[in-house]
Amino acid sequence: MSDAPVFVITGASTGIGAATARQAAAAGYRLVLAARSRDKLDALAEETGGLAVTTDVMRWEDNEALIAAAVEAFGGVDAVWANAGFGAKRGWLEETPEHWHDMVVTNVLGAAYTVRAAIPALKESRGHVLLTGSVAGRKVMPGSLYSCTKWAVTAMAEAVRVDLDGTGIRTTLISPGAVDTPFFDNPSEGRLEPDDIARAVMYALGQPPHVDVNEVLVRPTAQAG
């Protein structure tokens, strides 16, 4: 059996997750790709040689099934990245309560579920937990409940890191600035490319086992906020 590391990515169907899957495949990782959009996952799985697992991170059972599928296919899990998430318009009256509900559950509880489901396998491998936070999880964005969800993820990364201290598991918070992905309704000049964040992820993953890159905060060169 191959000893290439096994990397589970949620939110892998587009944007930052998909770009990172491509870089990780080129670096020899065996990939497990999770999101809700089966067609996009299948195309990326074919391209990267990965395993596509339809997953809604809002559902605990889906997270359990995702990790079980990874263990069944590859015999274990070396890294898990809770990356699935989305935003909302700023302004406390601008989004529907239903949109708020799904955003908070996906960005916060979904990330917690993914990590929880993966911890037993990661203890076996002395593996690596990654979470996608945001600049919005480091600065309060006015009128942004999205920002509040990412503050929760910032806290979660530290809570998990300390909880897992002594297990050999590493924890990394990836905090992007503006990145040109389907996260935004329209493309725009001056944002990062998804590959820019993918390189940060590969840097954190590629450190020797005694080095834990706790956080990587990456902004475009011109982003004041």
Residues tagged active-site: 146
Between helix 111-125 and helix 145-163 the angle, nearest 10°, is: 20
Length in residues, the chain: 225
Residues 6+ apart with CB under 8 A from 201: 20, 23, 24, 81, 130, 172, 174, 216
Is the Cβ of residue 13 or residue 23 nearer to ligand NJP in the bound state? 13
**Contact flag: residue 172 with ligand NJP (CB under 6 A):** no
How many whole angstroms separate alpha carbon 103 and alpha carbon 114? 15
| Residue whose C-beta lies closest to ligand NJP | 15
- Minimal distance in Å, beta carbon 4 to ligand NJP? 23
**Contact flag: residue 22 with ligand NJP (CB under 6 A):** no
**Nearest CA-CA partner of 7 in 66, 61, 59, 85:** 66
What is the token pair recorded at 82?
Answer: 């809770």
Is the Cβ of residue 52 or residue 164 nearer to ligand NJP in the bound state? 52
Is the Cβ of residue 3 or residue 189 nearer to ligand NJP in the bound state? 189
How many whole angstroms separate alpha carbon 104 and alpha carbon 176? 18
Residues 6+ apart with CB under 8 A from 21: 9, 12, 31, 33, 44, 48, 50
Q: Which of 5, 8, 13, 52 binds ligand NJP (CB under 6 A)?
A: 13
Total of residues contacting ligand NJP (CB under 6 A): 31
**Contact flag: residue 17 with ligand NJP (CB under 6 A):** yes
Q: Which span sits near ligand NJP by CB under 6 A: 20-28, 56-64, 160-168, 206-214? A: 56-64
Note whether 85 and 106 are within 8 A (CB): yes
DSSP run (H or E) holding 153: helix 145-163
**Contact flag: residue 60 with ligand NJP (CB under 6 A):** no
- Minimal distance in Å, beta carbon 218 to ligand NJP? 9
175-194 residues near ligand NJP, rule: CB under 6 A: 176, 178-179, 181-183
**Contact flag: residue 10 with ligand NJP (CB under 6 A):** yes
Q: Which span sits near ligand NJP by CB under 6 A: 68-76, 112-120, 161-169, 174-182? A: 174-182
Note whether 171 and 187 are within 8 A (CB): no
The contact set with ligand NJP (CB under 6 A) reads 10-17, 35-37, 55-58, 83-86, 106, 110, 132, 134-136, 176, 178-179, 181-183
